[in-house]
Amino acid sequence: MKKIVVDKIWTLFLDRDGVINEKLENDYIKSWDEFKFKDEVLQSIAGLAKIFGRVIIVTNQRGVGLGLMTEDALKEIHDKMLSAVTSVSGRIDKIYYCTAVENNAECRKPNIGMGLKAKTEFREIIFSKSIIVGDSFSDMEFGKNLGMKRIFIDSSNNFENYEFYDSKFKSLHDFYIELRENIKSD
């Protein structure tokens, strides 16, 4: 990872599906029963929350817009996810989600609506001192469009387009371990 000096001024933006929980290919997480945390994610979020001033989730949730699930079902998933995070002394400051179906909707990544909304609610956010961790091109474009550092989660380890991201890891946990080691070596 390119050396980044992170402290409490920094904000961490996390994508949800594929970063925090297992992604369902060609489907949507529609209930808590389908939501499965990725290995060591809870401990990683708890550790990252001690490093970053803000931890924010930004997630496209087109399944609601398509009528495959309700917004109440999405909120239940998020409430239970937050409860699991806080049970291990982790912290998520806010979850922003976009239910729009249209790709050009301002709130839908790679568009920057969720980032701008976060900046409105948390004025201390400085995008140049923010990191997006995601597993898709739209996550990386979202970060690029806002001037963030971009961490790509590629569990297959097959993607080598270095202009697409600043650093690449197999998991959020691997990113956390390296970041923690960089901080210790300072």
C-beta separation of 128 from 105 below 8 A: no
Distance of CA 58 to the CA centre of its chain: 6
Cite the beta strand spans of the chain per DSSP E. Answer: 11-14, 54-60, 94-98, 130-134, 149-153, 167-169
C-beta separation of 6 from 49 below 8 A: no
Please pick, among 7, 15, 39, 72, the residue that the annotation labels catalytic. Answer: 15
Q: Is the dihedral of CA 116, 107, 42, 4 positive or negative?
A: negative
Which amino acid is present at 10? W
Backbone angles phi, psi at 86, to 5 degrees: -70, -25
Please pick, among 7, 17, 27, 135, the residue that the annotation labels catalytic. Answer: 17
Q: Which residues contact residue 115 at a Cβ distance below 8 angstroms, ignoring those fewer than 6 apart?
A: 13, 58, 127, 142, 145, 146
Residue 154 a catalytic site member: no
Residue 17 a catalytic site member: yes
| Residues belonging to the active site | 15, 17
